[in-house]
Structure 1
Amino acid sequence: MYRQHIGTAILAFATLLLELSMIRAFDVILDPVMGYMVITIAMFALGLGGIYVYLFKAVRINVAKALPLLTLAYALSTVLVLPILNALPFDLNFSGNILVQLAAWIGMYCTIVVPFFLSGIILSLVFSLHANAIASLYCADLSGTGLACLLLMVLIPIFGPGGMLFFLAGLLCLAAAFFSTLSARRCLLFLPAAVVLIAWPFVHGQYIEFADHANKRNTEAMKSRGLREYVKWDPVSKVEVYAESETFKHFALDGGQQSSWMVRFDGDFATLKKEIDEYPQSFYFGVKSLAYFLKRGTPVDALILGAAVGDEPCAALVFGAHEVDAIEMVGAMVRAAKGRYAAFSGNLFNHPQVHYRTGEARTFLRATAKQYDIIQMFSNHSSSSIAQGNGALEAVYLQTVEAYLEYFSHLKPRLRPH
């Protein structure tokens, strides 16, 4: 009986991670709204699987023999999601022939329904076959889903959603072994397939990716031209860097849903200040630098919330800021700016007066007693579904009355509104 419990836990683990991985994939290849669609598809298909078992309960099948076969079918359908979605020409803007688009969108919908439908059937059969142990099976189910929530943030950067499909298919092969009535020795026959599937993302050497279906901010076109030079899945957003020109790097989040541009700089602030003084009409940092311009010559302490890789820290230092704390929620972007692209920005984000770190704005403020002359928000949230609707990661969380009270309390006393 313990084998049924382990199989159920693995199945629940794989099902929830599949749902969360597809949400992240749709954030990138379409948009966050379509990412939420995966939740409704998963709930519908899981329920449909249970209804199917109920309606056809009179059909005589050997459930014990059917469970491992259904689980293997679930594993296969999970792996096939990637090539099928990559082959279907569905487009976010319904470009091209409308009939082709309708067929492609229906095909995409059915492709995602199938694995969750099979999962619903398997869980229903397990619970029906072992109804006398429903309490412990339910515990195993919850344990699997709980572990999936816990490990999502660790596994996504390693595999990405595409590689996650192979990882989950490998686990489902192990679940099939636990569901089978074969002896322990014969169950080892499932092991090679599980090992190959789990190892494939590592053998592949780079992320196994879904094809774009939206071309947000022209990223698909830039990718086809070979301009993408870096990609990293972060727990919050997918980060891609494109060499759009010799003077700046385009940091695209979630396939271009949001973007930030890193400007080439040699790190010579003295020369830059001199050039600005001599040719002020040739320099424009944008409205985001206005506060620093108005306080030019004053050694202000500044806090930038949602810093991304913009040139606000550069503008702050050019106009005489004393210290800049820059907070960015996407850790992969922070690491890329401080590491791989440090030289391109003139080591701006490693400058001794710039403290650039990964964090969430209000959490950072609550943890510090430091007070500032300028608190600036520019790009203060991620648009991904994993962030939206999740409390401290939701954009409106930074725009509440309580949030502004926290901001005002961290302004220096003479600057606080009365």
Structure 2
Amino acid sequence: MATPESSLPSRSVIPRLATAFVIGVVSLTLEIAYTRIISFKLFYYYTYFVIGLALLGLGAAGAVTSLSSRLRAIDPVRLVRRIAPIAGVLAVVGYVVVARLPTDVNLIWTGSLGQAAGQTLLLLVMALAITGVFFGVGLVFTSLVVGQATTMRRLYFWDLVGAALGCLMAVPLQAWIGPPAMVLASAVALAALGPALAGVERERSWGAWAVTAAVLLGAIGAGQLKVLADDTKTLRDTDTVLAGDWGPVFRVDAVELGDLVVLHHDGLWGSSIWRYDGTRATTARFDTDVRQIPYAAVGEGPRVLIIGAAGGNEIMASLTYGASHIDAVELNPITVDLLRNEFGEYTNHVVDDPRVNYVQGDGRTFLARSDDEYDLIWFVAPDSYAASNAATAGAFVLSESYLYTQEMIETSLDHLT
């Protein structure tokens, strides 16, 4: 029979509550980080794939714990001490599998029967790797719940507090250390529960310490591995990436291609940074560019707002066509940093031109807060994903555009001269 919560020594309850809190942080951090990693490796709509596998792993762990009388007979804290380091190992191994598994999911739909079967098998291996991570996390938490059901309300409360903190930290952590490091740090935190609980209980647990040390070393090694993008993506493992990083919006990788630098957004060609110095040598391409059409209609020296300025091509076009002032808004901070710093000389510091106000932020919010009027408001390819290949285009019907709403159109019209 379970011991009533009120009769448990505080020293016995607190480790359980602290463990529930850590599990809450770890589980949400892992889930959010994996949605970003899979968006880069495969495609953004596989986010639902990750969420489903996370729920499967957590649910399976609950079922196993509930059905196993052997597990329920072990003291919860002692059980967690044994399981947590193993769960940390699963998390590191799972990450390595996901990161390095070569895939070409396009072949599932367009390849031969053998190719489709092979890619489906690889996708299944990846699914098992992700499910295994969350199975380990779930096993730790359900061991606490089933082993001491009378503390359920408090355990669940602290688990929710941890999950809320994991959500709050997700965006800053993606910008600071990136999703791969989030996964690996979570693995180390999970494994460390073993020796931490042993210390609280004043018991020696050299095995838990050894496994945790192995997880730490494995995480450091795994952190050096690149995440392989699917072969359907335009970014290749053989490409020389000049600069780039993970961000909360998408990962950006800059690869030189002739007279321009291609910006791959989550592994797909998303934008470009062109070599620019304001002379004919770098602006002649705009002579036959369709971008000149709206400028022919608005007259001399227009004031322009560019939403989605990305690598600055539209800024260069606007300057070439005689814009007197340009507000250029770009959502992704990684792209903004690349244009301002790494490729500043490459573009002759075009964003520092006195006619240019290059802003990192949300275009809709910027426009709503602005009192300025413009001759031209330029939405740069907000629905360009619709032109993706046939294997991926259909899924983009799920992608809602907040720039194509009635309110946004009305706001834009209100800001036109």
On whether the aligned pair clears a TM of 0.5, the verdict is yes
Shift of 1:213: 2.1
With normalisation by structure 2, the TM-score equals 0.84
Are residues 1:267 and 2:247 paired?
no
Residues 265 and 346, structure 1, Cα contact 8 Å, conserved in 2: yes
Q: How many residues align?
A: 386
**Counterpart check, 1:174 vs 2:187:** no
Q: Structure 2: which 5+ residue stretches go unaligned?
A: 1-12, 386-398
Aligned residue for 2:354, secondary structure, equals coil
CA drift of 1:11 comes to 1.2
Cα root mean square deviation, aligned: 2.9
Cα distance between partner residues in 1 of 2:288 and 2:66 = 64
Match of 2:165 in 1: 147
* Residue 229 of structure 2: aligned partner: 212
Q: Is the 8 A contact 1:82 1:210 kept in 2?
A: no
TM-superposed deviation, 1:135: 2.1
* Aligned partner letter, 1:374: L
Note the alpha carbon deviations across 1:159-184, whole angstroms, 9 max, x for none.
32322222111111232334447635
Counterpart-to-counterpart distance in 2, 1:380 and 1:319: 22
CA distance in 2, matches of 1:19, 1:120: 12
Cα distance, 1:200 vs. partner? 7.6
Q: Distance in 2 between matches of 1:198 and 1:355?
A: 45
Counterparts of 1:70 and 1:205 in 2: how far apart (Å)? 21
Pick the aligned partner of 2:254 from 220, 230, 241: 241
Offset at residue 74 of structure 1 (A) = 1.2
Question: 3-state DSSP class of the match of 1:327?
Answer: strand
Aligned match for 1:82, one of 58, 80, 95: 95
Q: What are the superposed Cα offsets for residues 281-335 of structure 1, whole Å, 9 maximum, x if unpaired?
A: x644632342124335x12110001111142111211222110001111111011
The offset of 1:88, in angstroms, is 3.7
User: Residues 330-381 of structure 1, C-alpha deviation per residue, up to 9 Å, x if partnerless?
Assistant: 1110111011101111211221111111111111112111111100101337
What residue in structure 2 maps to residue 17 of structure 1? 29
1:251 aligns with 2:263: yes
8 A contact 1:382–1:395 mirrored in 2: no
Tell me if the contact between 2:100 and 2:226 (Cα under 8 Å) persists in the aligned partners: no
Partner of 1:301: 303
Provide the C-alpha distance between the structure 1 equivalents of 2:348 and 2:288, rounded to a whole number of angstroms: 17
Percent identity over the alignment? 23
Identify which of 392, 407, 411 aligns with 2:412.
Answer: 407
| TM-score when normalising by structure 1 | 0.83
- 8 Å CA contact 1:170–1:196 kept in 2: the answer is no
**Unaligned segments of structure 1, at least 5 residues:** 277-281, 384-393, 413-418
Q: Tell me if structure 2 keeps the 8 A contact 1:308–1:379.
A: no
User: Is the 1:8–1:175 contact (alpha carbons within 8 Å) kept by the matching residues of 2?
Assistant: no
Using the TM superposition, give the Cα deviation of residue 82 of structure 1 relative to its aligned residue in structure 2, in angstroms.
Answer: 2.6
Q: 1:154 to 1:204 in 2, by over 3 A?
A: farther
Aligned to 2:143, which of 102, 114, 125? Answer: 125
Select 1:287's aligned residue among 284, 287, 290.
290
- Distance in 1 (alpha carbons) for counterparts of 2:383 and 2:225: 27
Letter paired with 1:107:
V
Cα 1:381/1:409, change in 2 over 3 Å: same
Q: 1: distance between equivalents of 2:165 and 2:384?
A: 25
CA distance in 2, matches of 1:8, 1:135: 11
Instruction: Decide whether aligned partners of structure 1 residues 173 and 23 sit closer, same or farther in structure 2, where only a CA change above 3 A counts.
Output: same
Matching residue within 36, 42, 51 for 1:30: 42
Report the counterpart of residue 314 of structure 2 in structure 1: 312
Kindly provide the CA deviation profile for residues 228-268 of structure 1, in whole angstroms up to 9, marking residues without a partner as x. Answer: 211211111101000111x1000111111x51011111234
Q: Which residue of 2 aligns with 1:53?
A: 65
What are the Cα deviations for residues 380-403 of structure 1, in whole angstroms up to 9, with x where unaligned?
3798xxxxxxxxxx7421111111
- The 3 A distance-change label for structure 1 pair 204 and 303 is farther
Q: Work out which of the residue numbers 84, 87, 112 in structure 1 matches 2:130.
A: 112
Given the superposition, is the C-alpha separation of residues 136 and 301 from structure 1 closer, same or farther in structure 2, using an over 3 Å criterion?
same
Q: Secondary structure at the match of 1:231?
A: strand
In 1, Cα distance between equivalents of 2:363 and 2:273: 21
Query: Structure 1 CA distance, aligned partners of 2:102 and 2:204?
Result: 42
Tell me the equivalent position of 2:7.
Answer: none
Hey, what's the Cα distance between the residues in 2 that align with 1:22 and 1:119? Answer: 14
